[in-house]
Amino acid sequence: MLTSPLLDHPTIVHGFGTRHDDMAALLPDYWPRRPVQHERHGTRIAVVTQAHEDCGEADGMLTDRPGLLLAIATADCVPVLLARRDGREVAALHVGWRGALGGIVDAFAALVRARGGDPAEWIAAAGPAAHACCYEVGQEVIDGFVARWNLAPGFVAPRPRRLDLPAIVRHQLERAGLGSVAARAECTMCHTRADGRWTFHSYCRDRETRTPVVDVHWSAIAIAHR
């Protein structure tokens, strides 16, 4: 399980799983009670208040309750784990290109403000995802980001039709006023372990052979049990 130094905090438990990690074994005190969301590449963020809660169709969760593990599944999309600097609230976002284009990061910032908070009080760590070295998309996706978010074409796609989704998400987090932002550098489509095996599941790379729902990796965050 990978971690981010930015989220090293005595009251925060977090990790970015790989295809070889058993998150239930790594987080045994949290995993069995985790709430669930049904990801749809949208912008809805659920506020979680109890164990085993079914959050419905959502691509983000936020909680101020200790012990509730917010776990999101990805296989090329960007997992973003967030925490208030004082460790009293945490959140997790599943950000695919549709969610990024639709504004899930801005939706998170709006939710924080609606709850009386300030995005500047929050820190965010983005996990492994498909990078521009490998992530090919249609030109209409690139044009959509350029038009909606007023981004330079070369920033959105440093190479023809190769989307730099992690860079876009980081830009959106910074633009939304998050206090600190960090990101893992691994590309889920091409990163390998020392033994030559793939480190991560990849929807784009393995779409013909992968098992839907099963071949994902999990990223999770929680306020530690008190």
Range with the poorest average pLDDT among 39-48, 90-99, 200-209: 200-209
* pLDDT of 63 above 80: yes
Q: Which of 80, 90, 69 is nearest to 183 (CA)?
A: 80
For residue range 20-41, what is the model confidence (pLDDT) as tens digits?
A: 999 999 999 999 999 999 999 9
Q: Which option is the CATH number for 5-223: 3.60.10.10, 2.40.10.480, 3.60.140.10, 3.40.50.300?
A: 3.60.140.10
Q: Phi, psi (5° rounding) for residue 223? A: -80, 130
- Using CA atoms, how far apart are residues 59 and 5, in angstroms rounded to an integer? 24
- Using CA atoms, how far apart are residues 46 and 101, in angstroms rounded to an integer? 19
Q: Can you give the pLDDT at residue 211?
A: 86
* pLDDT of 207 above 90: no
* pLDDT of 114 above 90: yes
Instruction: Please report which confidence band the pLDDT of residue 208 belongs to, taking 50, 70 and 90 as the band edges.
Output: confident
Q: What is the residue extent of each domain of the chain?
A: 5-223
Instruction: Please report which confidence band the pLDDT of residue 146 belongs to, taking 50, 70 and 90 as the band edges.
Output: very high
* pLDDT of 52 above 90: yes
With a pLDDT cut of 70, the percent of the chain lying above it is 100
Q: Can you give the pLDDT at residue 4?
A: 97
Instruction: Please report which confidence band the pLDDT of residue 206 belongs to, taking 50, 70 and 90 as the band edges.
Output: very high
